[in-house]
Chain A
């Protein structure tokens, strides 16, 4: 009952204050506008001319051609006479890609497969790959697409996104959590309104949960807003369609969502604890910013370091970032993801206990 009242108060505070709602949703809108603007400048009026070797045939070819010509670009289909020569042409940049279909591909037989060979270091190559893979998924392609990049040392776009996107997501989650949690915990402590609640007979654990649970739900909105902002602006920014991401199966999205959901309460609990330890919003904000930079830096480092093993998924917050990177890089990293989620939940529970102790500490709450 007391916990419900405490939670309702946080929701009431947030949803009845337009400024807080705008503050929460603004990063997503700004990200979308900013990235779209940057994308428009760097990719405006870009007409492309694709040369694609085609082996086999499918109705999808017509749709791909239509999608390419719609925005003023051109495509020239070349027959594959010599596979080695075609690969060499893609490698040297004389052709964009090789698109292959097995016989009777459109009948969706058991052996029906499609393949794309492209240069992941070439912007045209990545553009064609993302567009073609989107179309193939769109026409009901139920089979994995055999994707091959001709330059092994080049960083593939998917690889790039798999490193960048989780880091961006964590960064946005942190920002969203910071804007509400600092105000609600450090702000209330600084203004003396938290002490007013401590004088009541509400349990300290209820007060801690009464902050962390609703603030997590609210922060989730901000994180989703930022994520949508990134997702919508990514095609414009990168000059690629989200087909690159769209190539992921449904369970990938489920795992990523689960990982995001597990990160939010962990970060909210972390910021709440730091806020409870701080004397002012300014002090809490400074400490939290350091934490955020640390998580961002480590997220990038773990993304590019190949030696990070599956054990790293057991690190709170960071583990979920690593799991996300693994999922986005391709593959069913089920136990690693669930391990990261479980660790995050345990981490949150531990921080709730610490927060409860801090709320009971006279030195922390009433010390000068």
Chain B
């Protein structure tokens, strides 16, 4: 097994605003979002970061994708340091989150070419890749339709395809099916399996047990910014992921309120 992603002691704290302190009825001014997180993901596998809301999953993926800098620690993606070589890391990853949107005015074809240029993909390579990916995911018939006029499922497909325009080695998805209806969610899970079939390494975050069971080869359970458990799905789940998760959760935080 070849290591493709390695997180080493990642730590990230945020300043709490006065408003946030009031809402949470706390006097603390800083909040630890990720606390010394370390894990490894391997080439050609799907690795899932599983945890409740606020556990630090999104912050971890943002550090891996170089959108934010860790206060301490580092992450290495395809051998590149997220802290020291953010540009190189961005070239080898595809990052997708529900917070990243496409401009509704443009067409899928235009956006594919634009983001291809943003990643420095050669024109002829880009054209061939567009033909291939658009045909594979059924976007070709809608390639000249403005994004704002696409169905939710097709829009999701376009977003996913554009995130891999530059043929990245690692694909990072933050909560890939969050807020999606069942049909669109299936588009996403099928897409992830298709990517795995193409030999891509995938890192995703989620709080949905079934998604992990369906897709992931390895899983890391993250609670309060720390890795509470990690390993292959069989090692962690021991037959029932949901029960295993709550057992780990109780072990880390006590009884669930």
Contacts and interface: CB of A to CB of B under 8 A. Distances in A.
Nearest to B165: A200
Contact of B117 (A5, A192, A196, A365): A5
A196 B101 contact: yes
Interface string B62-77: 1001011100000000
Given A6-B118, A200-B90, A201-B118, 8 more contacts: A2-B120, A192-B101, A199-B67, A199-B95, A200-B118, A202-B118, A362-B69, A365-B67
A188 B62 CA distance: 19
Contacts of A201: 87-88, 90-91, 118-120
Contact of B103 (A191, A199, A200, A366): A191
A196 B100 contact: yes
Contacts of A193: 100-103
Interface string B91-129: 100010001111101100010001101111000000000
Could you say which of B91, B103, B114 has the most chain A C-beta atoms within 10 Å of its C-beta?
B103
A-B pairs, 4 with minimum CB distance: A5-B117, A200-B118, A192-B101, A362-B68
8 contacts: A16-B105, A191-B103, A192-B99, A192-B100, A199-B67, A199-B100, A201-B120, A203-B87
A193 B68 CA distance: 17
- Chain B facing A: main interface SS: loop
Contacts of B103: 13, 188, 191, 193
Interface of A: 1-2, 5-6, 9, 12-13, 16-17, 188, 191-193, 195-203, 362, 365-366
B118 A366 contact: no
A5 B110 CA distance: 11
A195 B99 contact: yes
A201 B89 CA distance: 8
Nearest to A199: B95
B65 A199 contact: yes
Contacts of B117: 1-2, 5
Contacts of B87: 201, 203
Interface of B: 62, 65, 67-69, 87-88, 90-91, 95, 99-103, 105-106, 110, 114-115, 117-120
Contacts of B118: 2, 5-6, 197, 200-202
B120 A199 contact: no
- Chain A facing B: main interface SS: helix
Nearest to A207: B118
Could you say which of A12, A16, A201 has the most chain B C-beta atoms within 10 Å of its C-beta?
A201
A53 B61 CA distance: 85
A13 B101 CA distance: 16
A1 to B, nearest CB: 7
A203 B69 CA distance: 16
A195 B90 CA distance: 13
A2 B110 CA distance: 15
Contacts of A1: 117, 120
Nearest to A201: B90
A199 B69 contact: no
B114 A9 contact: yes
Contacts of A200: 90, 115, 118-119
A6 B113 CA distance: 11
A359 to B, nearest CB: 11
Contact of A366 (B68, B90, B105, B119): B68
Nearest to B100: A196
A198 B119 CA distance: 11
Contacts of A365: 67
A5 B114 contact: yes
Contacts of A366: 62, 67-68
Contacts of A203: 87
Contacts of B91: 201
A292 B67 CA distance: 33
A303 B115 CA distance: 48
A248 B106 CA distance: 46
A9 B102 CA distance: 13
Could you say which of B87, B90, B100 has the most chain A C-beta atoms within 10 Å of its C-beta?
B100
Contacts of B110: 12
A285 B90 CA distance: 32
Nearest to A206: B118
A9 B115 CA distance: 11
A203 to B, nearest CB: 8
Contacts of A188: 103
Could you say which of A5, A12, A195, A196 has the most chain B C-beta atoms within 10 Å of its C-beta?
A196
